[in-house]
Chain A
Amino acid sequence: MNNHKKNKYIDQSFKVLGVLFTMLGIFILGVLIYNIVVAGFSRINWDFLTSLPSRKPERAGIYTAIIGTLDLMLLTVLFAIPIGVGAGIYLEEYAKKSKFSSILEINISNLAGVPSIIYGLLGLGIFVRFFGFGGSILSGSLTLSLLILPIIIVATREAIKAVPHSLKEASYALGASKWQTIKNVVIPSSFGGVLTGIILSLSRAIGETAPLIVVGAMAYVPFVPHSIFDTYSVLPMQIFSWTTRPQQGFAIAAAGAIIILLLITFIMNGIAVYFRNKWQKKLK
């Protein structure tokens, strides 16, 4: 009886503790968002979104930074998704279990945890210097692709692992080749998980500043990039540069830019959740 009571007590206190910690996380996030919205909301208007950066805080806008962010993300998606998903499929479906493949596996997991500045230096060495792409949007997106590749690969593999073996067997037993099975059974069944991984990785990429500083993203770009070889700025860069200025006006502008960056991230996540739910419904 005593033991039973004790267990119940521990159970309850753990529950309370869990609720408290959850609330703490949400509370801190809430305070942050509240602070930023209070500081920056007044600054957000159409002019702010469509103006070029300026030396005068009240005239400065984030047009080039938004376009730069969107361009950079688009290119990153183009590079990272085919390679990441392809590598994930290969490792899970084709690669034979061997010493080599397990070393590869461990390394990919480790790469997901490498600090982003290291990727920046890698990008500087390979894309900016060796290939001579300079501080272009191409260098930036290739560097970010490297950064998020491990995340996409790991997510793809996990999603594929979750596909029931019995479905693959059913496909093979009907005379399907390996590729037909992957295309018709494995990919559709794991699509939701792969998509979640991609979006999570993009959410990480969109907020990255450190590697982009190294590979030459600009804090001040008075024009919109026209080709992948143009220089560019991105929102985190713009925010970083504004927060280092002494004028109060730039702090407000930075808060405004943070709101926009958060909005873009939320919208991206929202789209991902929408697609994932839609996909899961289709399967039911």
Chain B
Amino acid sequence: MAKEIEITMEELKSKIKNTTTFEEDTSTSGGSRIEAKDVKVWYDDFNAIKGIDMKIKPNTITAFIGPSGCGKSTFLRLFNRMNDYVEGFRMEGKIKINGDSIYKKKVNVEELRKEIGMVFQKPNPFPKSIYENVAYGLKIQGIKDKKLIDGRVEKALRQADLWEEVKDNLKKSALALSGGQQQRLCIARTLAVQPSILLMDEPTSALDPISTAKIEELIHHLKEEYTIIIVTHNMQQASRISDYTAFFYLGELIEYDKTRKIFTNPEKKQTENYITGRFG
């Protein structure tokens, strides 16, 4: 088992080395580009985000880091409008995905969320079978073609590297899976809807190191087809898997640059203090 992890970590490292040669390459298709312009958010009187501008390139992995309560999760949840249900939520500014503003009145929020998948901090599979979990997003779209659904379920489970483990037990309850498997199931469930952006809110914080390594490897593969944003409290994780890193503090974006730059030679003192563990 231990050997397995080593290999995985080795692989990851080599992949990170590859990404150090990352260039402004936007030719790969699949992912979407995201733009935020002067975004401010309030919860009642509390100013959670104080004016953030950010551009995220397609098919990249961007890590959001910062101490708890710095607004990184709030900012992430703006992209699929999950804050809409929070009482007292108010927002100013613009968020554009592939050039279209997503906070306009006429935007269909359900359609938007099919385009932008989300994986949560704690694995939250539905109390249904593994198959039903992955098929959920398709069934609510009204897709009835069983062959199509079967195909997509298998593809999504393969993408999430779970297929081999569950292919004989698709009818089994998802709650019987281990925590790591549940989280990969949640990723598969999201992928089945075929979004172009993946938002991940501390997806490995509730998992053990082995499951974490698996999911990190998975995220790395998914970059080819998706634009990925990941919120994380784990500095090593951010440096291992992301191309870009954004450091948030007290509702402001302090620094946003290539991950290598942030972790080796940050512009701002605050960033350096945070990543070296001097505060936060």
Asked if A171 is an interface residue, CB under 8 A from chain B, the answer is yes
* A166 and B124 form a contact (CB under 8 A): yes
Which residues of chain A come closer than 8 Å to B124, judged between CB atoms? 164, 166-167, 169-170
Question: Are the C-beta atoms of A184 and B127 separated by less than 8 Å?
Answer: no
A15 contacts B by Cβ under 8 Å? no
Asked if A180 is an interface residue, CB under 8 A from chain B, the answer is yes
Beta-carbon contact of A172 and B113 below 8 Å:
yes
B40 located at the interface, meaning its Cβ lies under 8 Å from any Cβ of chain A in the complex? no
Structural contact, A283 and B190, CB atoms closer than 8 A: no
Q: Is the CB of A185 within 8 A of B126?
A: yes
The number of chain A residues with a CB under 8 A from chain B is 20
Task: Closest A residue to B138 by CB, please name it.
Answer: A174
Q: Which of B56-64, B80-88, B160-168 contacts A (4 or more CB under 8 A)?
A: B80-88
The answer on a CB contact under 8 Å between B190 and A171 is no
Instruction: Choose one: B82, B87, B137; the contact of A169 (CB below 8 Å).
Output: B82
Complex contact A175–B126 (CB within 8 A): no
A6 at interface, CB cutoff 8 A? no
Q: In this assembly, does A56 line the interface, its C-beta being within 8 Å of a C-beta of chain B?
A: no
* Contact between chains at B82 and A175 (CB < 8 Å): no
Q: A170 and B120: CB pair below 8 A? A: yes
Cα A156 to Cα B111 in complex, Å, equals: 30
State the CA gap A36–B236 with chains docked (Å): 74
Max chain A C-beta neighbours (<10 A), residue from B113, B117, B120, B125: B113
Interface residues of A in 126-177 (CB under 8 A from B): 164, 166-167, 169-177
Check: A97 CB closer than 8 A to any chain B CB. Answer: yes
| A173 engages B190 (CB within 8 Å) | yes
Given known A172-B113, A175-B113, contact A180–B140 (CB-CB < 8 A): yes
Residues of chain B within 8 A of A185, CB atoms compared: 126
Nearest-neighbor residue (CB-CB) of A96 within chain B: B87
Is A4's beta carbon under 8 Å from chain B? no
- Report B-chain residues with C-beta under 8 Å of the C-beta of A99: none
The distance in angstroms between the C-alpha atoms of A177 and B189, with both chains bound, is 17
Indicate if B274 sits at the interface (CB-CB under 8 A).
no
A170 vs B193: C-alpha distance when bound (angstroms)? 13
Contact A283 B141 (CB under 8 A): no
- B152 lies within 8 A of chain A by Cβ: no
Within 8 A of B (CB), among A180-198: 180, 184-185, 188-189
Contact with B along A72-109 (1 / 0, CB 8 A): 00000000000000000000000001000000000000
Closest B residue to A164 using CB positions: B124
Query: What's the dominant secondary structure at chain A's contact region?
Result: helix
Given contacts A164-B124, A177-B110, A283-B173, contact A172 B136 (CB under 8 A): no
> What's the nearest-Cβ distance from chain A to residue B113, in Å?
4
**Contact between B118 and A175 (Cβ–Cβ < 8 Å)?**
no
Cβ of A284 under 8 Å from chain B: yes
B-chain residues with CB within 8 Å of residue A180 when the two chains form the complex: 140
CB pair B85–A172 under 8 Å, yes or no, is: yes
Which residues B113-144 have CB closer than 8 A to chain A? Answer: 113-114, 117-118, 120, 122, 124-127, 136-137, 140-141
Is B120 a contact partner of A175 (Cβ separation < 8 A)? no
Choose from B111, B113, B125 the contact partner of A173 (Cβ within 8 Å): B113
Inter-chain contacts of A169 with B (CB < 8 A): 82, 120, 124
CA separation between A263 and B189, bound complex, in Å?
Answer: 48
Smallest CB–CB gap between A89 and chain B, Å? 16
Given A173-B118, A284-B175; A167-B82 close (CB under 8 Å): no
Note all chain B residues with C-beta closer than 8 A to A167.
124, 126-127
- Judge whether B70 is part of the interface by a CB distance below 8 angstroms: no
* B186 is an interface residue with CB less than 8 A from chain A: yes
Residue from A184, A189, A283, A284 within 8 A of B140 (CB atoms):
A184
Bound together, the chains give a CA A284 to CA B126 distance in angstroms of 11
A-contact 0/1 string along B73-84, CB 8 Å cutoff: 000000010100
Which residues of A sit under 8 angstroms from B122, Cβ to Cβ?
166
Chain B nearest CB: distance from A194 CB in Å? Answer: 15
Q: Which residues of B contact A (CB under 8 A)?
A: 80, 82, 85, 87, 110-111, 113-114, 117-118, 120, 122, 124-127, 136-137, 140-141, 173, 175-176, 186, 189-190, 193
Return the 4 tightest CB-CB contacts between A and B, nearest first.
A175-B114, A174-B137, A166-B124, A173-B118
Instruction: Pick 9 A–B contacts, CB within 8 A, sort by A.
Output: A97-B87, A167-B126, A167-B127, A169-B124, A174-B114, A175-B137, A184-B126, A184-B140, A283-B127
